[in-house]
Amino acid sequence: MMKIHNWHELSFLLVITGIIQYLILTTIAMFFYTGGNSVNPNTQTYSFFINFISDLGRIKSISGKSNIISLILYTIAGLFFSISLILFVITLRDILKDEPKIKTISNFIMILGIISGIFMLVGYLTPWDIYGSFHVLCGLIFTATGVVTILLYAIAIIFKEQYSNRMALILLVVFCFTFINLLIITFLKYSANSLESLVFQVTLQKFTMYSFIICFLIQGFYLLKLEKIY
């Protein structure tokens, strides 16, 4: 059994666990989704490239059927994931603050990261078939604050001697994906009134979200290893 020596290690383990359980529970939730998408309400199952992640969190699916099992799994996964990310950015600030060059940046990382995590959490608590506009607003604020947090985190890593710059490169790649996604959903405002448009939006959302997830999974494992070394 792995021994946890301090709360830093606990935080890194929590974000790793939070991400893994999110991937597992949301995947299971896809199998329980009761059908329908923004273009065709008559489909019977969840389609990875046609249904948004938020479809899993509807009280009633787009087909009009009860979606409670999928909703419960989606909500549990999202809450645990959000809380683990909030704890993670708080821990990051504690690790980075000792470096004089990035002390101020570390404070902004924590503040923006907490704001991002809170709006992410609220988004998972507001089914978008009931709180449509507010749910979307939470997603936009989560993404906007999250993308700045990622950029600041990458910059901070460059000035942190013990930290590998490869971790900064990973963050910068995810920053680019997330920033492009934010620009598209904010300014281009694609409407999901055609299958092609829907597939484009869903694919972009999934690619961005899973890039974000994998990035922080890597960061969690790396920091856990680093914590044990130092």
| Spatial CA neighbour of 227 closest among 150, 154, 162 | 162
Which pLDDT does position 3 carry in this prediction? 62
pTM above 0.85, yes or no: yes
Count of Cβ atoms closer than 10 Å to residue 150 Cβ? 27
Which pLDDT does position 181 carry in this prediction? 82
Which pLDDT does position 190 carry in this prediction? 55
Report the C-alpha gap between 74 and 79 in whole angstroms. Answer: 9
Alpha helix positions (H), the chain? 7-32, 68-96, 103-125, 132-158, 165-183, 195-229
Question: Which residues make beta-bridge pairs with 96?
Answer: none
For the record, the structure tokens of 24 come out as: 């597992």
Task: Per residue of the chain (230 residues), give pLDDT as tens.
Answer: 556 667 889 999 999 999 999 999 999 999 999 999 989 999 999 999 999 999 999 999 999 999 999 999 999 999 999 999 999 999 999 888 877 888 899 999 999 999 999 999 999 999 989 998 899 899 989 999 999 999 999 999 998 888 888 999 999 999 998 888 888 877 765 566 788 888 988 998 899 899 999 999 999 999 998 876 54
| Spatial CA neighbour of 195 closest among 43, 57, 18, 65 | 43
Which pLDDT does position 185 carry in this prediction? 74
Report the C-alpha gap between 12 and 132 in whole angstroms. Answer: 33
